[in-house]
């Protein structure tokens, strides 16, 4: 075939896809994908290409400019994620082989930000193993129904944004389980990230990272969510006063309870109490 661009070698392939109106509205989509073999002359720089780029480095290296403007090099057996809504640049310095996909749809960019916040732009080591499998499933799915493709992309994004690996699962999950048990047993008391960390003999920073990894919440947000859930149970199954429920669920005042409840549920505790289920 005709050479795609400078630095892209023979046998490289590229494919483009057009999504249905429904898929553009509801699903995650693959806009284009490719399998590139490159020499040291491949270089791309552009202002934007509204999508998220995922690159699976099979051989050689892949250098890119991250969100801070710094050059970073990904090695063989790693995955790169780039927000291509922003100006971006990447290139190869010698022979390299990589698979890539531009994806978009739904809250794809929010996923990208969360993944980069958690992992940086490069996924490697134990986290790469499962990600590589999910990437390959998505990459090979383009003849499937658009809904199935969307599901595969979603699984990949969830995996990358949670970063749970077999290596870390046992110890980290046990720590979070103990923290959740403590929260449930001390819900009517003051609970801070520092208090939880002291109980579990780990640093607040490490606890926060584990909580986000295994629950999707920060410790603070998780405590508030549990308090609100328990409050809803009291509101619908008991005749306890709003003030009593506030203190039973750990809020330091009725006013604070009402404010948090309205912020989470979009209605006051009194209005929620009148709902029928």
Is residue 2 situated within a structural domain? Answer: no
The whole domain housing 205 covers 168-273
| 240 and 177 together in one domain | yes
Tally of domains within the chain? 2
Residue 144's contacts (CB-CB under 8 Å, 6 or more residues apart) are 152
pLDDT higher than threshold 50 for residue 271: yes
| 150 and 175 together in one domain | no
**Count of alpha carbons within 13 Å of 134, Cβ hemisphere only?**
20
Check residue 259 and give its pLDDT. 96
Q: How many helices (H) and strands (E) does the chain have?
A: 11, 10
pLDDT higher than threshold 80 for residue 40: yes
| 41 and 119 together in one domain | yes
User: Which residue among 135, 162, 189 closes a domain?
Assistant: 162
Do 8 and 38 meet the contact criterion of CB atoms below 8 Å apart?
Answer: yes
Is residue 1 situated within a structural domain? Answer: no
The sign of the torsion formed by the CA atoms of 124, 138, 136, 59 equals negative
| 216 and 188 together in one domain | yes
Mean of all residue pLDDT scores within the chain: 90
| 136 and 189 together in one domain | no
| 142 and 200 together in one domain | no
User: Which residue among 103, 136, 162 closes a domain?
Assistant: 162
| 232 and 186 together in one domain | yes
| 146 and 197 together in one domain | no
Using a 10 angstrom Cβ sphere, with 0-12 exposed, 13-18 middle and 19 or more buried, the burial of residue 92 is buried
Residue 55's contacts (CB-CB under 8 Å, 6 or more residues apart) are 62, 74, 79, 80, 81, 82, 90, 98, 99, 100
Specify the pTM. 0.71
User: Which residue among 144, 162, 180 closes a domain?
Assistant: 162
Is residue 111 situated within a structural domain? Answer: yes
Rounded Cα distance between 86 and 138, Å, is: 24
Instruction: Indicate which CATH number applies to the domain containing 209.
Output: 1.10.10.60
Instruction: Pick the more confident residue, 171 or 12.
Output: 12
Check residue 167 and give its pLDDT. 45
When mean pLDDT is compared across 211-225, 241-255, 260-274, the lowest value belongs to 211-225
- The whole-number average pLDDT for the span 122-147 is 87
Rounded Cα distance between 224 and 263, Å, is: 11
Check residue 166 and give its pLDDT. 47
Instruction: Pick the more confident residue, 161 or 271.
Output: 271
Rounded Cα distance between 165 and 185, Å, is: 29
- The whole-number average pLDDT for the span 257-268 is 94
Instruction: Indicate which CATH number applies to the domain containing 59.
Output: 2.60.120.10
Q: Residue 243's closest CA among 255, 229, 233? A: 255
pLDDT higher than threshold 60 for residue 128: yes
How confident is residue 225, by pLDDT bands cut at 50, 70 and 90?
very high
Instruction: Pick the more confident residue, 57 or 10.
Output: 57
Rounded Cα distance between 133 and 139, Å, is: 10
When mean pLDDT is compared across 166-170, 232-236, 265-269, the lowest value belongs to 166-170
């Amino acid at each position: 075939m005709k050479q795609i661009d400078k630095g892209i070698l023979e046998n490289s392939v590229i494919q483009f896809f057009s999504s249905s109106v429904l898929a553009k509205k509801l699903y995650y989509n693959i806009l284009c994908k490719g399998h590139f073999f490159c020499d040291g002359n491949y270089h791309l720089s552009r202002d934007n290409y509204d999508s998220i780029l995922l690159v699976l480095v099979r051989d050689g290296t892949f250098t890119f400019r991250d969100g801070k403007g710094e050059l970073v090099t990904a090695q063989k057996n790693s995955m790169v994620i780039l927000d291509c809504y922003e100006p971006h640049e990447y290139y190869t310095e010698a022979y390299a082989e990589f698979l890539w996909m531009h994806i978009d749809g739904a809250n794809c960019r929010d996923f990208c930000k969360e993944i980069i916040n958690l992992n940086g732009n490069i996924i490697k080591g134990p986290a790469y193993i499962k990600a590589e499998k999910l990437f390959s499933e998505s990459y090979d799915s383009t003849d499937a129904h658009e809904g199935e493709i969307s599901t595969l992309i979603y699984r990949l994004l969830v995996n990358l944004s949670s970063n749970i690996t077999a290596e870390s699962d046992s110890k980290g999950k046990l720590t979070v389980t103990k923290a959740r048990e403590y929260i449930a047993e001390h819900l009517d008391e003051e609970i801070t990230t520092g208090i939880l960390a002291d109980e579990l003999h780990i640093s607040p920073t490490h606890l926060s990272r584990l909580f986000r990894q295994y629950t999707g919440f920060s410790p603070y947000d998780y405590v508030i969510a549990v308090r609100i859930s328990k409050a809803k149970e009291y509101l619908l199954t008991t005749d306890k006063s709003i003030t009593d429920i506030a203190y039973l669920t750990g809020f330091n005042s009725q006013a604070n309870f009402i404010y948090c409840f309205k912020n989470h549920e979009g209605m006051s505790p009194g209005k929620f109490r009148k709902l029928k289920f």
